Amino acid sequence: MSGGVALFDFDNDGLVDAYFVDSLTVDTAKDPKAARSALYRNLGHGKFEDVTDKAGVGHPGWGMGVCTADVDGDGWEDLYVTAIGGNHLYRNNHDGTFADITERAGVGGGGWSTGCGFADYDRDGDLDLFVSRYVKLDLDNLPEFGKGKTCEHRGIKVQCGPRGLPGMTDLLFRNDGNGHFTEVSEAAGVSDPRGYFGLGIAWFDANQDGWPDLYVANDSTPSFFYVNQKNGTFKEAAFPMGVAVSEDGAEQGGMGLAVGDYDGSGRLSLFKTNFAEEYNNLYHNEGDHFTDVSFRSQTAPSSLPYVGWGAAFLDYDNDGRLDILAVNGHVYPQMDQARLGASAGYHQRKLLYHNRGDGQFEEVAARYGSVLTDERVSRGMAVGDLDNDGRLDVVINDLDGRPQVLHNELADRGHWLIVKLKGKAPNTDAIGALVTVKAATRSQMRLVQSGTSYLSQEDMRRHFGLGAQLEADSVEVLWPDGTTSHVEKVKADQILEIAQGR
């Protein structure tokens, strides 16, 4: 289930680097040297260098997810890695190395941690941290397939779970402002006392009241939507908001998440990947609730055979509309024996949905050849511009195989603008900021997020496709503290840096 990936510029050289979270198998779970995570420095021109040992972020053990943020407000990206048995916070030392400050910061967590993301939920200026968790797991007494209870999927015996297994509570670490965090999930109302099986998470201001809300994709149980009450607490409202279950009221195996304004409504909608035969959800934000438009938008039918994981809204062709990319792969290797008709096996292809601009999407992966149709067992995925050419690239972490780096080579498919924000310390990443670009008759909005996709982290610079437009009429930033910045007549095809207060 593991395999997050992060795209972030750890050395501040203007190129996005890549961090891959590695994991173990049941057979190697007790060998701390069996696997390690890896950091690759982007050298430019399509080349990367493994700097894991020098950086000190190998994180041996059963890794799961990753998120990044400038936790201490010094202008350098720090790294948080979730795992089975304890998480790690690595502080950036500004010299290509990191220091493990987990114990000092008090964010070790424990158990089977999965998703993570930083946000300033209490609007005190510094970044807090949410961590989702999955099931209770005893590495000394791991279930052995074939012994004890088994389940069936497509007529084949498989390992049971997660239903029937004891779940875990989730964690919310409030930043105390002095380098230490305090775990406050129960007091804040986000602890999940029922022990649902948490995976992907997303912080975003769904109701546009200026306070970040929180969505948690739960596996095989209703998902959670926590509405920020502006007093340090949250109200769980997934059912009344319409984002707990499927359109017909069924529980789903939620995995990955993407947040974006795909139709220019000025509101952030939600895309969620799920288990096979459950369809992926596209929840349209109506302002005070969401509507499941998955079938209406034509994103649901093609997703039914697949187990979805990493997901992203992205404008891959720079036409000014957000498209959707989802990567897939089953959890049961036995599924290659049950591949019937359109049913996918263990290795599965990707799904690319092109935004038609009328509320509907067209699945077009086959249009771009084997790079999207080759079948893999994919998990984490992150999107970013690896070579600063204005075309979004994709990095994918696979099980039992090498990672994939998909370089976008669509030539002459529209102009673009990338906006890089520098917020006031301590939130120098401006996490939670909204960037709106207006060009001709089209308005586009993007959110700066920590923790995206499936247990992954995308490039925090915000990308906008401009189509035939040679300039943007305006760029407006709504900073996390409610202040704004406004720039007019911005030339296309550049990386625009905007600093808060300037």
Query: Could you please report the per-residue DSSP string of 220-282?
Result: SS--EEEEE-SSS-EEE-HHHHT-SS-TTS-------EEEE-TTSSSS-EEEE---TTS--EE
How does pLDDT run across 282-317, given as a tens digit for each residue?
A: 999 999 999 999 999 999 999 999 999 999 999 999
Range with the poorest average pLDDT among 16-20, 299-303, 335-339, 424-428: 335-339
Share of the chain above pLDDT 90, in %: 85
> CB-side exposure of 150: number of CA atoms within 13 Å?
11
Report the pLDDT averaged over residues 198-208: 98
Q: What is the pLDDT of residue 128?
A: 99
Phi and psi at 449, nearest 5°, equal -125, 150
pLDDT beyond 80 at 149:
no
Mean pLDDT of the chain: 94
**Which residues fall within 8 angstroms of residue 397, CB to CB, at 6 or more apart?**
3, 4, 5, 20, 21, 378, 379, 380, 381, 403, 456
Report the pLDDT averaged over residues 269-276: 98
Q: What is the pLDDT of residue 395?
A: 99
* Cα–Cα distance for residue pair 356/220, rounded to 1 Å: 32
pLDDT beyond 70 at 88:
yes
Q: What is the pLDDT of residue 32?
A: 62
Q: Indicate the pairing of strand 494-499 with strand 415-422.
A: parallel
**Which residues fall within 8 angstroms of residue 500, CB to CB, at 6 or more apart?**
421, 422, 423, 424, 430, 477, 479, 483, 485
Share of the chain above pLDDT 70, in %: 96
Which amino acid, 449?
Answer: Q
pLDDT beyond 80 at 148:
no
8 Å CB contact between 387 and 46: yes
Give me the residue spans of the domains in the chain: 5-139+150-499
Residue 162: asked if its preceding bond is cis (omega within 30°), the reply is yes
Phi and psi at 373, nearest 5°, equal -95, -15
How does pLDDT run across 436-491, given as a tens digit for each residue?
A: 999 999 999 999 999 999 999 999 999 999 999 999 999 999 999 999 999 999 99
Range with the poorest average pLDDT among 212-221, 283-292, 352-361, 407-416: 407-416
State the pLDDT confidence band at 154, using cuts at 50, 70 and 90.
confident
* Cα–Cα distance for residue pair 277/325, rounded to 1 Å: 18
Report the top-level CATH class of 5-139+150-499. mainly beta
8 Å CB contact between 478 and 433: yes
DSSP-assigned letter for residue 60: -
State the pLDDT confidence band at 342, using cuts at 50, 70 and 90.
low
Report the pLDDT averaged over residues 195-207: 98
Q: What is the pLDDT of residue 354?
A: 98
Q: What is the pLDDT of residue 337?
A: 77
8 Å CB contact between 65 and 380: yes
Q: 90-99: long-range contacts (C-beta < 8 A, 24 or more apart)?
A: 90/56, 90/57, 92/10, 96/10, 96/11, 96/41, 96/51, 96/54, 96/55, 97/54, 97/55, 97/56, 98/55, 98/56, 98/57, 99/56
8 Å CB contact between 274 and 253: yes
Given the structure tokens 């982290």, which residue do they identify?
A: 457
> CB-side exposure of 493: number of CA atoms within 13 Å?
9
* Cα–Cα distance for residue pair 358/297, rounded to 1 Å: 9
pLDDT beyond 60 at 86:
yes
* Cα–Cα distance for residue pair 328/379, rounded to 1 Å: 7
State the pLDDT confidence band at 163, using cuts at 50, 70 and 90.
confident
Phi and psi at 151, nearest 5°, equal -120, 175
Q: What is the pLDDT of residue 141?
A: 75
Q: Please, what is the Cα angle at 16 between 452 and 352, to 5 degrees? A: 50
> CB-side exposure of 228: number of CA atoms within 13 Å?
21
Q: What is the pLDDT of residue 343?
A: 62
Question: Alpha helix (H) ranges present in 163-304?
Answer: 185-188, 238-241
* Cα–Cα distance for residue pair 405/395, rounded to 1 Å: 5
Task: Look at 400 and 29; give whichever has higher pLDDT.
Answer: 400
pLDDT beyond 60 at 388:
yes
